[in-house]
Amino acid sequence: MPAIECTGLTKTYSVGLKKHVALDHLDFQVQEGEVFGFLGPNGAGKTTTIKLLLGLIQPTSGAATIFGHPSHTATARARVGFLPESPYFYDHLTATEFLAFCGRLFGLTSVAIHDATLRLLKQVGLEEAAHTPLRKFSKGMLQRIGIAQALINDPQLVILDEPMSGLDPIGRKDCRDLILQLKQAGKTICFSSHIIPDVEMICDHIAILVKGKLIRMGRVEEILDAHQETLEALFIRETQT
């Protein structure tokens, strides 16, 4: 069973009297255990796809499932961890309080929340900021606590929206390493990015979206072999034509 399956996923918005097609009949699957990268320029529909998968917005037509469950249901989201783009969290909470809050939303016990909090703060390098209010966090620290909250329920599927955006080179490397660690632990990872070298380095499969349409999808090596050019060159060529 695929971790994610989208069939004819379409989203249109009304802008005045006109219709804007944000996503146009998107069909794709993400298999369990793989790292899947969404590539596309700004406004390509990457975040729209992720929001549709998480039930934050409703499709105009088409459907999506997560591990076989309709993606808008709470059952589907129980096995998912999500990091939003440019995360903004409740800044009156400390890092520990925030993770406890997220754990309670998943119905975890107090003991499980305590253990997961200690483990995750260590994993993302925020042990010393455990009792610091989030309003005092830098952008990089917010990204790290965002990753920690996405993993609080030990999810089978991790969806990351632009996880490397705004991070310094060390932060980007840490994020890449974390994705690879998650993959080794058997998790499925689906993330969007426009930092092509990162995508090329860690993804098994990629999909390139332009103006809401899927223009290319496949295994990274197969795409590179078929076109005999770098992913960056291919991406620029595909998005400009």
Partner 1 sequence: MMRQIGAIAFNTFKGAVHERLFYNLLIFAIVMVTGSILVASLTLGEQSKIIMDMGLASHNLFGMLIAVFLGTGLISGEIERRTIHTVLSKPVGRTTFLMGKYAGLLLTLFTNTVAITATLYVVLALHPKIDPYVKGDMLTYVEPRLLLAIYMTFLELMLLSAVALLFSTFTTATLATVFSLSTYAIGHLSGTIMTMSSKRVSLATRLLVQGVHYLFPNFSQFDIKNQVVHGVAVTPAYFGYTTGYAILYLTLLLLIASTIFSRRDLG
Interface contacts to partner 1, rule CB under 8 A: 51, 54-58, 74-75, 77-78, 80, 82, 84, 87-90, 92-93, 101-102, 104-107, 149, 153, 159
Identify which of residues 15 and 170 has a Cβ nearer to partner 1 in the complex.
15
Going along the chain, which residue ranges are E strands?
4-15, 18-30, 35-39, 61-66, 69-70, 80-83, 157-161, 188-193, 205-210, 213-219
Residue 154: what are its φ and ψ, rounded to 5°? 50, 60
What is the nearest approach in angstroms of partner 1 to the Cβ of residue 38?
16
What is the nearest approach in angstroms of partner 1 to the Cβ of residue 218?
28
Identify which of residues 11 and 220 has a Cβ nearer to partner 1 in the complex.
11
Answer whether 207's CB lies under 8 Å from 28's CB.
Answer: yes
| Beta bridge partners of residue 160, listed in sequence order | 83, 191
Per residue, what are the HEC states of 58-92?
A: CCCEEEEEECCEECCCHHHHCCEEEECCCCCCCCC
Identify which of residues 107 and 186 has a Cβ nearer to partner 1 in the complex.
107
Identify which of residues 117 and 234 has a Cβ nearer to partner 1 in the complex.
117
What is the nearest approach in angstroms of partner 1 to the Cβ of residue 97?
8
What is the nearest approach in angstroms of partner 1 to the Cβ of residue 235?
26
